Structure 1
């Protein structure tokens, strides 16, 4: 992990690496007149496939004491995974403070992350569309013995949405389906939305919110003059500045 608190005014930047020692060597396929050619990229014994992600934290806090942040979206690297690294570093840094009784005590900083919901289902459907509904309920398996060898956990159903559902109608149509599903015992109701940026988002519809607008966390694309490699050795100032401008 690399930390930079000076390159971009008003931001603390952290660069994380994630290595995959057991990953297979990548292969590249190229079309040719006689068919296709394949090329393997062989790695050295002391090399690992790796990716990196930037975490940009705005230095000035909100009135609630929280800090706005943006995490570069990389497969296999989420706020949960980088948060584990941050929590370990903060836990190891113990410092003294004076309590209300005037006594000295040891403590450390606690790290918690919370996603900011910035998109609505109605707005996402203006350029996207529904793909699937996933239902989950406690498994009902009469054929499983009553001993301690097998334990039923979940039962899942996936429903394909074949017809088009317009943004103005989704609350009525999806909401009605969610209510019927819950009446049939399906507690968990999720809907997949295909976004206009060739990505998909799974949105949870909680009980009691079937006829309400739903907000969810959406990734935003940032255009850069300089292309970022899959794994960066140094912090990208360009990405950091644009990310800070977005969260500000």
Structure 2
């Protein structure tokens, strides 16, 4: 997946920072250096060079920097993804009128100890929408997901212990972190420009032909249905909900809808049981244009990215 120079996609989240033990105080996002805070916990982990997670393929996701921006009222994190085993990028040049070869390819060769890398900003608006819950925007970069960012933050917070008093006793606790994508787009609105490509059904597998020697274990049956007709913002509800009801009667438990959006992106939306009579909401990425060229990887925060990501988080 290629990154555009002047645009990025962002996804909105609710992020919760809460004490592990009931009755303990909630840590602020940022505070004076002598006080406990989420920012201080993350910075300690960075300083110890432990703010990272190694992926199964050898890639490294690392939190490189954290900073509180009082003017933007935001806590900002900069993540890197380094891929030691990634193939070298290549650049193609095509000549319109030239004898012999019309296309040449040049490889960019890395130097010793270098790793192909990308970076992403996670911006958390520091105004609570409820106790311990903040709005955030993540710059969508391949391989740097919110699940990886949350895992690194959780690791830093679990090592950052602080004392509190309860029933006249001094106890110790730490903070935990949760992140949930903000469902802000309706399926009806998405289908004004997008389309439903596939519907995937899942149910427990029937073990009729599986032997009893313990060699095989049935898990799930999956049926993928291609949508060849027209499902629009006007007719999807009747057609989809009717199919979902018949699937349910036949034992299918999960009903997933694959949507192709006008920005050439795809989303898989799960139809929950309690949604069958309501509008379906899902998390959608927002495309933002920039007047300056954005680097693929940076060791410094981008003021322009922070400004626009903060605006998205505050919406």
Corresponding residue of 1:153: 219
Shift of 1:208: 4.4
Does residue 19 (structure 1) correspond to residue 82 (structure 2)? The answer is yes
Shift of 1:237: 1.0
Q: For structure 2, list consecutive stretches of 5 or more residues without a partner in the other structure.
A: 1-63
More strand by share: 2
Write the distance in 2 (CA, Å) between the matches of 1:108 and 1:41. Answer: 45
Shift of 1:164: 1.5
Write the distance in 1 (CA, Å) between the matches of 2:285 and 2:228. Answer: 26
Does residue 123 (structure 1) correspond to residue 189 (structure 2)? The answer is yes
Corresponding residue of 2:168: 102
Does residue 173 (structure 1) correspond to residue 267 (structure 2)? The answer is no
User: Could you tell me which of 202, 210, 219 is aligned with 2:268?
Assistant: 202
Corresponding residue of 1:193: 259
Write the distance in 2 (CA, Å) between the matches of 1:71 and 1:53. Answer: 7
TM-score by length of 1: 0.93
Write the distance in 1 (CA, Å) between the matches of 2:164 and 2:192. Answer: 53
Shift of 1:110: 1.1
Distance 1:157 1:28, change over 3 A: farther
- Confirm or deny: 8 A CA contact 1:171 1:212 kept in the other structure: no
Using CA pairs below 8 Å that are at least 6 residues apart, which structure has the higher relative contact order?
2
Corresponding residue of 2:66: 3
Distance 1:29 1:7, change over 3 A: farther
TM-score by length of 2: 0.74
Please provide the CA RMSD for this pair.
Answer: 1.7
Write the distance in 2 (CA, Å) between the matches of 1:43 and 1:245. Answer: 37
Corresponding residue of 2:290: 224
Distance 1:142 1:31, change over 3 A: farther
Q: For structure 1, list consecutive stretches of 5 or more residues without a partner in the other structure.
A: none
User: Could you tell me which of 176, 180, 199 is aligned with 1:114?
Assistant: 180
Shift of 1:135: 1.1
Following TM superposition, where does structure 1 have runs of at least 4 consecutive aligned residues deviating by more than 6 angstroms? Answer: none
Count of residue correspondences: 247
